[in-house]
Structure 1
């Protein structure tokens, strides 16, 4: 069972919201991680610098947080193969869903985009169903 951390979660959510607002205000772009990542994978987008900086910040922030003495104990209860397969399935979903959870769920819903609202509802239903199947039917 994962430890419930309401204050850390709130703080993280505020930082995600602020980064999404800053990216929209400064660059006019939605903070969808998949779209940002796709611009630094060849062929590289002309605006690759801000994309690389955004991704570097997303990677370095938890490292800095842990180094500063923060952090929450966690474990990954599945194999590396399961993580790779899960990543592949998510990649397929991102392609067919025309965006990822951060783009649709954080930015799209904030803009009241009907497409993003539907996509986020579908993401959540799929997540609930997956947790139910894994925990109660498969027994993992």
Structure 2
């Protein structure tokens, strides 16, 4: 994935952050739930009683680009320079890591840090460090 720094504007990123924070806050205030994607998916797959709410949450995330297209008239500009197999393996590794770490970037990084959870701070620091090291190693190897 590449970033076109010449065309970068901070406003869409700021608005995205505000919307993520508002959605996470809304979910915890009104429903007492953390907006952790891995937890939502795991609960959906486990067949918990609130599976419908989890399904709606996840479908809403997947529908966001289509809603963007309806409002703006074009798909969001994203460039991914990896093949399908690499993306599949990466997704599986992230999923396994999220499960082993008892949460993911949204659960720990967004919600847990906002709650000042020491466990979430440690988890976020660990997966950010692992991500930086992985990106540096793969970038060095040209992978």
Q: What residue is the counterpart of 1:55 in the other structure?
A: 58
> Structure 1 residue 101: deviation in Å?
0.9
How large is the Cα RMSD of the aligned pairs?
1.4
Q: How does the TM-score come out when normalised to structure 2?
A: 0.89
Pair 1:97 & 2:98 matched: no
1:76 aligns with 2:80: yes
* Shift of residue 57, structure 1, vs aligned partner: 1.3
Give per-residue Cα distances to partners, 1:75-110, cap 9 Å, x unaligned. 210111101111111122112111111100000000
Unaligned runs of 5+ in 1: none
Match of 1:111 among 111, 115, 132: 115
Q: 1:21 and 1:9 mapped to 2: Cα distance?
A: 18
Distance 2:101 2:43 in 1: 18
Q: Does 1:8 align with 2:12?
A: yes
C-alpha deviation, 1:72, in angstroms: 3.9
Secondary structure at 2:40 match in 1 = helix
TM-score (norm 1): 0.91
Gaps of 5+ in 2: none
- CA 1:5/1:126 → structure 2, altered by over 3 Å: closer, same or farther? farther
Tell me the equivalent position of 1:139.
142
Q: Contact conserved, 2:27 with 2:35, CA < 8 A, in 1? A: yes
